[in-house]
């Protein structure tokens, strides 16, 4: 397992990268890394693009801050639930990236097989039903999709992805956001020519 110092630096670095691509405007989003028997997560009210080491807090899986005066992100319970459900996840990135959030806010999932690469990496990106941010209902509505998928749209809210490495979680976020942009563009061009079931199966067999 990486040291706290190294994990903190990774969170800061990828937070900045998310910001550079406008995936995490303003105070939106949060990032965490599995650490010891809990996680390191960005503090409440922090901005992913401008994180300092003091903006990361060690939190146990009951959601309690283990560092005096630091309050973990309000979405901590969603992160905890995903770490419990997916033991191989070591990092989780949650953002309000504009194209993904547009689909989430229009009540549209990204399950249709429009681009081969996305079928390969995601299978599909389902849409979790709306619930109040930071609520137990949001955790329930969203976490269940992670039994089958690694990335989920959250209705009227944003996107969340988990992975074994932060590099992979970030790459999947980049892919998903550009995919959402492509799907939106296809609609301007008269609609995507969706791959058929056999073509989709063929791609999945390459995994």
Footprint on this chain of Zn ion (rule: CB under 5 A): 158
- Minimal distance in Å, beta carbon 116 to Zn ion? 30
- Minimal distance in Å, beta carbon 96 to Zn ion? 6
Query: What three-state secondary structure class fits 192?
Result: coil
**Would residue 88 show up in a list of annotated catalytic residues for this protein?**
no
Q: What is the dihedral of CA 60, 66, 134, 48, to 10 degrees?
A: -110
Query: Around 61, how many Cα atoms within 13 Å sit in the side-chain half-sphere?
Result: 11
The rounded distance, in Å, linking the Cα atoms of 158 and 22 is 13
Whole-number Cα distances in Å, 116 to 102, 198, 204: 22, 12, 9
Residue nearest to Zn ion (CB): 158
CB-wise, 133 or 191, nearer to Zn ion? 133
CB-wise, 113 or 158, nearer to Zn ion? 158
The region, left, alpha or beta by phi > 0 then psi within -120 to 50, assigned to residue 19 is alpha
Catalytic residue among 75, 81, 174, 202: 75
Looking at the DSSP assignment, which residues form a beta bridge with residue 30? 94
- Minimal distance in Å, beta carbon 126 to Zn ion? 17
Query: Around 38, how many Cα atoms within 13 Å sit in the side-chain half-sphere?
Result: 18
- Minimal distance in Å, beta carbon 194 to Zn ion? 29
Please say whether the beta carbons of 96 and 147 come within 8 A: no
CB-wise, 4 or 98, nearer to Zn ion? 98
CB-wise, 57 or 104, nearer to Zn ion? 104
Q: Which residues belong to the active site? A: 75
């Amino acid at each position: 397992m990486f040291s706290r110092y190294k994990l903190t630096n990774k969170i800061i670095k990828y937070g900045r990268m998310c910001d550079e691509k406008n995936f995490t405007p303003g105070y939106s989003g949060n990032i965490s890394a599995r650490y010891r028997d809990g996680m390191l997560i960005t503090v409440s009210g922090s901005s992913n693009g401008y994180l300092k080491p003091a903006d990361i807090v060690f939190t146990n899986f009951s959601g309690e801050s283990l560092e005096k005066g630091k309050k973990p992100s309000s979405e901590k319970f969603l992160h905890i639930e995903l770490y419990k459900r997916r033991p191989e996840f070591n990092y989780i990135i949650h953002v309000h990236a504009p194209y993904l959030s547009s689909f989430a806010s229009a009540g549209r999932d990204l399950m249709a097989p429009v681009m081969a690469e996305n079928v390969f990496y995601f299978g599909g990106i389902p849409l979790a039903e709306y619930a109040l941010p930071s609520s137990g209902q949001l955790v329930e509505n969203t976490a269940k999709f992670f039994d089958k998928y690694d990335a989920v749209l959250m209705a009227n809210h944003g996107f969340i992805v988990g992975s074994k490495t932060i590099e992979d979680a970030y790459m999947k976020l980049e892919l998903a956001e550009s995919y959402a942009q492509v799907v939106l563009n296809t609609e301007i061009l008269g609609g995507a020519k969706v791959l058929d079931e056999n073509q989709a199966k063929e791609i999945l067999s390459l995994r």
